[in-house]
């Protein structure tokens, strides 16, 4: 199975002080140990990780530092990480996408489906996404 990691999964995995850090870390460790699934990222979740990391640190983390942290995280996945190109337009939207706050989630869900993956998230409000246990 392929899983496209949502921003919130990356932020939780990368932030030891995040409320869902253990949840994300445990799930990713299980995926890595099974050595059968692929964990994907794309530009949007990577950018989101950098943005949120900078915001959470109140200016103590630069974009460069957040990028290096993310690079290290993804390197730990080795061959089980795959970067996918965001080759989807933003012209069609699922019916559940009713507000501006849903657009990124909807886009990532469609991107995951296009790449035969599930969108892995901590957000129970995304219809059709895989909610981390």
Helix (H, G, I), strand (E, B) or coil at 89: coil
Q: What is the pLDDT of residue 59?
A: 84
Q: What is the pLDDT of residue 23?
A: 98
Distances (CA, A) of 70 to 1, 15, 90, 91, 133: 22, 11, 26, 30, 22
Whether the full predicted model's pTM is greater than 0.75, yes or no, is yes
Does the structure show a pLDDT above 90 at 47? yes
Does the domain formed by 2-131 have CATH 3.40.50.1010?
yes
Q: Where are the beta strands (DSSP E) in 23-76?
A: 38-41
Q: What is the pLDDT of residue 28?
A: 97
Q: What is the pairing mode between strands 2-5 and 118-121?
A: parallel
Rg (CA), the chain: 14
Instruction: Return the exposure string of 15-48: e unless at least 16 CB atoms fall within 10 Å of the residue's CB, then b.
Output: beebebeebbeebbeebeeeeebbbbbbebbbeb
Average of per-residue pLDDT across 42-46:
98
- Residue-wise pLDDT for 55-74, tens only, equals 998 889 999 999 999 999 99
């Amino acid at each position: 199975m392929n899983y496209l990691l949502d921003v919130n999964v990356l932020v939780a995995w990368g932030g030891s002080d995040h409320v869902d850090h253990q949840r994300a870390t445990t799930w990713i460790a299980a995926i890595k140990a099974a050595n059968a699934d692929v964990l994907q990222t794309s530009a949007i979740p990577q950018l989101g990780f950098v943005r949120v990391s900078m915001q959470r640190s109140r200016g103590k983390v630069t974009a460069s530092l957040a990028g290096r942290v993310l690079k290290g995280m993804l390197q730990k996945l080795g061959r089980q990480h795959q970067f996918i190109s965001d080759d989807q337009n933003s012209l069609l939207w699922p019916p559940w996408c009713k507000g501006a706050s849903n657009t990124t989630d909807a886009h990532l869900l469609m991107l995951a489906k296009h790449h035969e993956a599930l969108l892995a998230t901590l957000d129970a409000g995304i219809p059709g996404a895989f909610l981390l246990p």
